[in-house]
């Protein structure tokens, strides 16, 4: 089962800008779906690349995706995932993206085999160096409910191979997205 999961990450491209909240993000920190009357507001984060390219995937670190990726993921009827319209101002234009709000988080980290450090309070994982999934916990959850999810213990977004394959099969291929096998993922994966 370890080999069936991949960590969603942003591509290593200096031209893809980071995104930031241009409003309060408090509603999205709760583990529940949110009610929105209008698109949330996001902006380009610093430093803004001189020759920026808006891709199909950006992160806040929550995933922010294009309408193309949203359509592929919506077809999967993902459990515990909400697509929230997000407007991003880029050089005076407003571009529509979608925040992938993974409000249902699954506690499935193997606490004995993963490598991590707690915060001083001992309640929050401050640093996750190596992730091992607890296959017994995951296996008890129907596949439909764990195709795409956020890890409960840390800020990590996981895709089952079936969901990843659908995203990567897009034509043209999606830009700005990469998937790292859980078995190969580490804290340094963001930089390599």
The per-residue pLDDT for 17 is 94
Inter-CA distances, 89 with 53, 70, 93, 95, Å: 13, 19, 6, 6
Question: For 55-112, what is each residue's pLDDT tens digit?
Answer: 999 999 899 999 999 999 999 999 999 999 999 999 999 999 999 999 999 999 998 9
Instruction: Tell me the pTM.
Output: 0.92
Report pLDDT digits (tens) over 165-188. Answer: 999 999 999 999 999 999 998 776
Residue 29: which pLDDT band, with cuts at 50, 70 and 90?
confident
Task: Read off the pLDDT of residues 2-15 as tens digits, 9 standing for 90 and up.
Answer: 899 999 999 989 99
147 contacts 78 by C-beta, under 8 angstroms: yes
Q: How confident is the model at residue 192 (pLDDT cuts 50, 70, 90)?
A: low
Residue 57: enclosing H or E segment and its boundaries? strand 57-59
Which pLDDT value is given to residue 120? Answer: 76
The CA distance from 180 to 150, in Å, is: 15
- Give mean pLDDT, residues 16-25: 94
Whether residue 159 contacts residue 177, with contact meaning beta carbons closer than 8 Å, is answered with: no
**Cα–Cα distance for residue pair 173/92, rounded to 1 Å:** 27
Which of helix, strand or coil describes residue 4? helix
Residue 123: pLDDT above 90?
Answer: no
Q: Is a pLDDT exceeding 80 seen at residue 146?
A: yes
**What was the pLDDT predicted at 148?**
97
């Amino acid at each position: 089962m370890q080999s069936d999961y991949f960590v969603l990450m942003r591509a290593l491209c200096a031209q893809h800008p980071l995104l930031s909240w241009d409003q309060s993000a408090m509603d999205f920190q709760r583990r529940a779906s949110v009610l929105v009357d209008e698109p949330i507001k996001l902006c380009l984060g610093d430093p803004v690349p001189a020759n920026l390219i808006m891709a199909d995937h950006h992160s806040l670190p929550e995933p922010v995706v294009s309408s193309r990726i949203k359509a592929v993921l919506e077809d999967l009827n993902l459990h515990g995932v909400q697509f929230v319209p997000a407007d991003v101002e880029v050089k005076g234009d407003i571009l529509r993206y979608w925040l992938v709000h993974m409000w249902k988080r699954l506690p499935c980290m193997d606490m004995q085999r993963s490598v991590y450090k707690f915060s001083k309070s001992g309640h929050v994982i401050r640093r996750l160096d190596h992730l091992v999934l607890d296959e017994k916990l995951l296996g008890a959850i129907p596949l439909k409910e764990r195709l795409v999810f956020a890890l409960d213990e840390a800020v990590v977004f996981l895709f089952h191979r079936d969901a990843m394959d659908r995203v990567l099969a897009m034509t043209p291929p999606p830009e700005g997205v990469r998937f790292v096998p859980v078995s190969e993922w580490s804290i340094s994966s963001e930089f390599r």
